[in-house]
Structure 1
Amino acid sequence: METRPITDLIRDANQLYNEQNFSRALLLYKQALDILFQMSKAQRPPEKDKTMILISQILEKAEYCKAAKNSLEEQKVPLRRAVTTNNRGQIVSPVRNSVHVNQNLSPNPELANLERAIEGEIVDRSLSVKWDDIAGLERAKEMLREAIILPSQFPHIFTGLRAPPKGIMLFGPPGTGKTMLAKAVASQCQATFLSVSSATLTSKNFGDAEKLVRALFSVARRLQPSVIFIDEVDSILGSRSDSQHEASRRLETEFLVQMDGVSSNSDDRVIVIAATNRPQEIDEAVRRRLAKRVYIDLPDNETRKAMVVKLMENLSKKLSPKDIDTIVKHTNFYSGSDMTALCKEAAMGPVRNLKPDKLSKGEIPPISLKHFKEALKVIRPSVSKATLEFYAKWNEEFGVV
Structure 2
Amino acid sequence: MYNNFKEKAIEYVKQAVQEDNAGNYVKAFPLYMNALGYFETHLKYEKNPKIKEAITLKFTEYLRRAEEIRSMLDGGSPEPTSNGDAAIATKPKTKSKDGGEGDGENPEHAKLQAGLSSAIVREKPNVKWNDVAGLDSAKQALKEAVILPVKFPQFFTGKRRPWRAFLLYGPPGTGKSYLAKAVATEADSTFFSISSSDLVSKWMGESEKLVSNLFQMARDSAPSIIFIDEIDSLCGQRGEGNESEASRRIKTELLVQMQGVGHNDHKVLVLAATNTPYALDQAIRRRFDKRIYIPLPDLKARQHMFKVHLGDTPNNLTERDFESLARRTEGFSGSDISVCVKDVLFEPVRKTQDAMFFIKTSDGMWVPCGPKQPGAVQITMEELAAKELASKILPPPISRRDFDKVLARQRPTVSTSDLGVHEKFTKEFGEEG
- Structure-1-length-normalised TM-score: 0.75
Question: What is the SS of the residue equivalent to 1:203?
Answer: coil
How far apart, CA to CA, are the structure 2 residues paired with 1:320 and 1:59? Answer: 71
The size of the alignment, in residue pairs, is: 343
The answer to whether 1:374 aligns with 2:375 is no
Partners of 1:226 and 1:270 within 8 A in 2: yes
Structure 2 partner of 1:319: 317
Structure 1 partner of 2:255: 256
How far apart, CA to CA, are the structure 2 residues paired with 1:128 and 1:179? Answer: 13
- Structure-2-length-normalised TM-score: 0.70
Which amino acid counterpart does residue 157 of structure 1 have in structure 2? F
Partners of 2:207 and 2:246 within 8 A in 1: yes
Question: What is the SS of the residue equivalent to 1:120?
Answer: helix
Structure 2 partner of 1:178: 176
Query: Please, which runs of 5 or more residues in structure 1 have no aligned partner?
Result: 14-27, 70-88, 93-105
How far apart, CA to CA, are the structure 2 residues paired with 1:151 and 1:33? Answer: 47
How far apart, CA to CA, are the structure 2 residues paired with 1:59 and 1:201? Answer: 23
How far 1:268 sits from its partner (Å)? 3.7
Which amino acid counterpart does residue 113 of structure 2 have in structure 1? E
List per-residue Cα deviations over 1:182-211 (Å, max 9, x = no partner).
Answer: 111112211111111111111111111111
Map 1:154-193 to 2 at 5 A. 154-193=152-191
How far 1:169 sits from its partner (Å)? 0.3
The answer to whether 1:397 aligns with 2:428 is yes
Partners of 2:25 and 2:73 within 8 A in 1: no
How far 1:58 sits from its partner (Å)? 11
How far apart, CA to CA, are the structure 2 residues paired with 1:128 and 1:142? Answer: 19
How far apart, CA to CA, are the structure 2 residues paired with 1:311 and 1:225? Answer: 32
How far 1:113 sits from its partner (Å)? 2.2
Which amino acid counterpart does residue 431 of structure 2 have in structure 1? V
Structure 1 partner of 2:375: none
Q: How large is the RMSD of aligned CA atoms in angstroms? A: 3.7
> Which moves more between the two structures, 263-272 or 131-140?
263-272
List per-residue Cα deviations over 1:299-353 (Å, max 9, x = no partner).
Answer: 1111111122223342243212222222112101111111111111122222212
Which amino acid counterpart does residue 324 of structure 2 have in structure 1? T
List per-residue Cα deviations over 1:366-395 (Å, max 9, x = no partner).
Answer: 211111111012321110122112211211
Larger Rg: 2
Question: What is the SS of the residue equivalent to 1:293?
Answer: strand
Map 1:215-294 to 2 at 5 A. 215-241=213-239, 243=241, 244-260=243-259, 263-265=261-263, 268-294=266-292
Structure 2 partner of 1:361: 392
How far apart, CA to CA, are the structure 1 residues paired with 2:163 and 2:284? Answer: 14
How far 1:8 sits from its partner (Å)? 8.9
Partners of 2:149 and 2:156 within 8 A in 1: yes
Which amino acid counterpart does residue 143 of structure 1 have in structure 2? A
Residues 346 and 62 (structure 1), Cα distance of their counterparts in 2 relative to 1, 3 Å cut: farther
Between the aligned residues of both structures, percent identity stands at 40
Which amino acid counterpart does residue 187 of structure 1 have in structure 2? T
Question: What is the SS of the residue equivalent to 1:238?
Answer: coil
Question: What is the SS of the residue equivalent to 2:119?
Answer: coil
How far apart, CA to CA, are the structure 2 residues paired with 1:256 and 1:187? Answer: 28
Query: Please, which runs of 5 or more residues in structure 2 have no aligned partner?
Result: 1-14, 43-61, 80-87, 92-103, 356-379
Structure 1 partner of 2:136: 138
How far apart, CA to CA, are the structure 2 residues paired with 1:90 and 1:33? Answer: 11
How far apart, CA to CA, are the structure 2 residues paired with 1:142 and 1:132? Answer: 12
How far 1:294 sits from its partner (Å)? 0.7
Question: What is the SS of the residue equivalent to 2:191?
Answer: strand
How far apart, CA to CA, are the structure 2 residues paired with 1:298 and 1:206? Answer: 41
Residues 9 and 142 (structure 1), Cα distance of their counterparts in 2 relative to 1, 3 Å cut: same
Residues 63 and 326 (structure 1), Cα distance of their counterparts in 2 relative to 1, 3 Å cut: farther
How far apart, CA to CA, are the structure 2 residues paired with 1:11 and 1:200? Answer: 35
Question: What is the SS of the residue equivalent to 2:199?
Answer: coil
Residues 68 and 329 (structure 1), Cα distance of their counterparts in 2 relative to 1, 3 Å cut: farther
Question: What is the SS of the residue equivalent to 1:272?
Answer: strand
How far apart, CA to CA, are the structure 1 residues paired with 2:346 and 2:183? Answer: 33
How far apart, CA to CA, are the structure 2 residues paired with 1:390 and 1:256? Answer: 25
Which amino acid counterpart does residue 129 of structure 2 have in structure 1? W
